[in-house]
Chains A and B, each alone.
Chain A
Amino acid sequence: MTLETEPRPAPAPPRTGHRRVSAALHRSPRLRLAGLLTAPAAWLVLVYIAALAALLITALWTVDTFTGKVSTTWTLDNILTVTTDPVYQAITLRTLRIAVVVTLIDMVIALPIAFFIAKVADKRWEKLLIVAVLMPLWASYLVKAYAWRNVLAEGGLLEWLGAPVGLNSPGYSETAVVLTLAYIWLPYMILPLHAGFERVPDSLIEASGDLGAKPLATLRLVVLPILVPSIIAGTIFTFSLSLGDYITAQIVGGTTQMLGTVVYANVGAANNLPLAAAVALIPIAIIMIYLFVVRRTGALNNL
């Protein structure tokens, strides 16, 4: 343990209990650190880490069919069910597909706006634009999903906008889920991409131009390689946040079921917490695998 200050003698002899504690704390940095750290660390470990560990264990338990209570019988049944049952496989694949499409859409939309904010707009505008992107990030997730229910509704805004060009609203469907999730997580993609573009030195771009590269060639050969870690950082958010969603599916998805829908149904109505825990492990596993695959790109330092 490295400590920042050497203990010094207490300035005045302790007279009251309060002073005695203060003097003891003053003398021992270790004691001070313990005083600071105990409560928050205990909270995080006892509440959160314990909860995650318990989740893992519960997935290996089962539910007593008579009492409906969780019984602590060890079994791999839940894990086997969610990995081999075609219903769960289909839901897992659908959820993965939604998360991938959402990520791709966000990437395509975020690239031009992040580039414009970082490299084209002048400094005064840059700050304003960043705030404009950040603000809706903090508006309620629920309200944003609800807003899209309004947009997609029969006779709603999208139908009205699409009518002149012959486009129809997708209604409440998987497409609607993709659109809405892409909308909700977009700022999570724009911000790391903006940071990535900022890191590309202007001199490098100019040098590329001076050596005869056209703008598109510069983008592809000079900017893109530097940008890759930021792109991956953005995809980590859009991908993992989409994987865990169920509210959006509930609000605009019609009958679309995602992994989250199954987890929620098994916690509530179906009352099978062990199975719900096993299903919740799927997105965790997928995210872990994804993080493991991309860790070498340096993306994790861009989070």
Chain B
Amino acid sequence: MKLSRSAKTILGVITGLILLFIYLPLLLVVVNSFNADRTFGWPPRSFTLEWWGRAVASEGVRDALATSVQVAVISTIISLILGTLLALALQRYSFFGRDVINLLVILPIALPGIVTGIALNNLFTTVLGVPLSLWTVIVAHATFCMVTVFNNAIARLRRVNGSLEEASADLGAGVFTTFVLVTLPQLRSALLAGGLLAFALSFDEIIVTTFTIGAGQQTLPVWILSNLFRPNQAPVVNVVAVILIVVSIVPIWLAQRLSSDSVAGTGAPGIGRGKIKKAKVPSAP
């Protein structure tokens, strides 16, 4: 199809406008975190660092940040272990029910967050009678973070063949020695990428968290949600939102550089083509 020069230009301009539409709201939050006006009228008249100072000094924000990091680190560790085991099982062996398990690992992230949230809330409170706490949040997060580690690990395993492991076994190394000295080094960067994504996913998750967190406990997103509608907290909420953007984008950016599997290798939830199947998201969130 021969597109005229002007048609190409128009398409380019539309693309630029859409990207502007994608980034403008996020930039607005960043700019507003320095906006001296409490009501955030646009355009801003003067800028200040006061909100950043207040956010840093706020005990609520510091506690929530510590909680978020704690939850994200522990769920990342759990999903690293489970995701790697699962990837090895599904890639190196074929067995009855393999496709079902493949679907199962994607499900927590494919269904809307609210379904996962209420299902787990119901499991903990009604079925098991476990009081909601940070541990229930960690169990929930690990369940949907597993998929990012799994995706990165299995994509890597598909590219490296098992002959090195066979050679290691032939040379007399035990199963564990082979895993530590041969398999793990090949997986290292893929696991790092998957782990970073899992961390980011857990760090800014809100929907499942609100359904599984105990009373009185707050992760950073929960802190934002509960302070969002308080006018005198609004400036600090902006700052925390910027922190959330940075803490989720930086690991993704690092993961992107680490996983050379594909551009989309960071795993847009459920979106992918060909050999590397991905699942999200985010759910959303």
Q: Tell me which of A26, A115, A140, A141 contacts B175 (CB under 8 A).
A: A26
Residues of B within 8 A of A140 (CB): 204, 206, 221, 241, 244-245, 248
**A82–B99 Cα gap in the complex (Å)?**
34
Interface presence of B122 (CB below 8 A): yes
27 CB-based A-B contacts, threshold 8 Å: A2-B94, A4-B94, A37-B101, A43-B82, A47-B120, A47-B123, A48-B108, A48-B116, A50-B123, A54-B127, A55-B115, A55-B119, A55-B123, A116-B11, A130-B264, A134-B256, A136-B22, A138-B248, A140-B241, A146-B241, A150-B238, A186-B22, A244-B112, A264-B210, A276-B118, A277-B122, A280-B115
Known contacts A47-B123, A116-B12; decide if A139 and B26 are in contact (CB<8 Å): yes
Interface presence of B32 (CB below 8 A): yes
Q: Tell me which of A43, A267, A276 contacts B143 (CB under 8 A).
A: A43
Contact assessment for B15 and A116 in the assembled complex, using a CB-CB cutoff below 8 Å:
yes
Residues of A within 8 A of B85 (CB): 36-37, 39-40
Contact assessment for B268 and A134 in the assembled complex, using a CB-CB cutoff below 8 Å:
yes
Residues of A within 8 A of B57 (CB): none
Q: Tell me which of B11, B237, B253, B264 contacts A191 (CB under 8 A).
A: B264
**A209–B41 Cα gap in the complex (Å)?**
52
**A264–B211 Cα gap in the complex (Å)?**
8
Known: A43-B142, A159-B42. 6 other contacts (CB 8 A): A37-B86, A133-B22, A219-B1, A241-B112, A267-B211, A283-B114
- CB B33 to nearest CB in A, in angstroms, measures 10
Contact assessment for A142 and B224 in the assembled complex, using a CB-CB cutoff below 8 Å:
yes
- CB B44 to nearest CB in A, in angstroms, measures 10
Known contacts A151-B28, A157-B42; decide if A44 and B93 are in contact (CB<8 Å): no
B contact patch SS: helix
Interface presence of B76 (CB below 8 A): no
Residues of A within 8 A of B249 (CB): 135, 138-139
Instruction: Give the residue among B18, B115, B253 with the most A Cβ atoms within 10 A.
Output: B115
Contact assessment for B271 and A144 in the assembled complex, using a CB-CB cutoff below 8 Å:
no
Residues of B within 8 A of A142 (CB): 204, 206, 221, 224-225, 241, 244
- CB A41 to nearest CB in B, in angstroms, measures 6
Residues of A within 8 A of B248 (CB): 138-140
Contact assessment for B83 and A141 in the assembled complex, using a CB-CB cutoff below 8 Å:
no
- CB B239 to nearest CB in A, in angstroms, measures 12
A contact patch SS: helix
Q: Tell me which of A8, A58, A138, A244 contacts B266 (CB under 8 A).
A: A138
Q: Nearest B residue to A50 by beta-carbon distance? A: B123
Contact assessment for A149 and B228 in the assembled complex, using a CB-CB cutoff below 8 Å:
yes
Contact assessment for B176 and A18 in the assembled complex, using a CB-CB cutoff below 8 Å:
yes
Q: Tell me which of B19, B81, B114, B228 contacts A260 (CB under 8 A).
A: B114
Contact assessment for A8 and B122 in the assembled complex, using a CB-CB cutoff below 8 Å:
no
Interface presence of B126 (CB below 8 A): yes
Q: Nearest B residue to A189 by beta-carbon distance? A: B271
Residues of B within 8 A of A283 (CB): 112, 114-115
Interface presence of A143 (CB below 8 A): yes
- CB A63 to nearest CB in B, in angstroms, measures 10
Contact assessment for A195 and B273 in the assembled complex, using a CB-CB cutoff below 8 Å:
yes
Known contacts A26-B175, A47-B139; decide if A284 and B111 are in contact (CB<8 Å): yes
Contact assessment for A280 and B114 in the assembled complex, using a CB-CB cutoff below 8 Å:
yes
**A30–B169 Cα gap in the complex (Å)?**
17
Known contacts A36-B89, A141-B204; decide if A273 and B264 are in contact (CB<8 Å): no
Residues of A within 8 A of B15 (CB): 112-113, 116-117, 121, 129
Contact assessment for A22 and B122 in the assembled complex, using a CB-CB cutoff below 8 Å:
no
Residues of B within 8 A of A32 (CB): 93, 175
Contact assessment for A58 and B11 in the assembled complex, using a CB-CB cutoff below 8 Å:
no
**A238–B176 Cα gap in the complex (Å)?**
44
- CB B258 to nearest CB in A, in angstroms, measures 14
For residues 233 through 255 of chain B, which have their beta carbon under 8 Å from a beta carbon of chain A? 237-238, 241, 244-245, 248-249, 252-253
**A218–B1 Cα gap in the complex (Å)?**
7
**A219–B3 Cα gap in the complex (Å)?**
11
Known contacts A1-B95, A49-B104, A159-B42; decide if A132 and B19 are in contact (CB<8 Å): yes
**A138–B198 Cα gap in the complex (Å)?**
11
- CB B56 to nearest CB in A, in angstroms, measures 19
**A33–B91 Cα gap in the complex (Å)?**
11
Interface presence of A91 (CB below 8 A): no
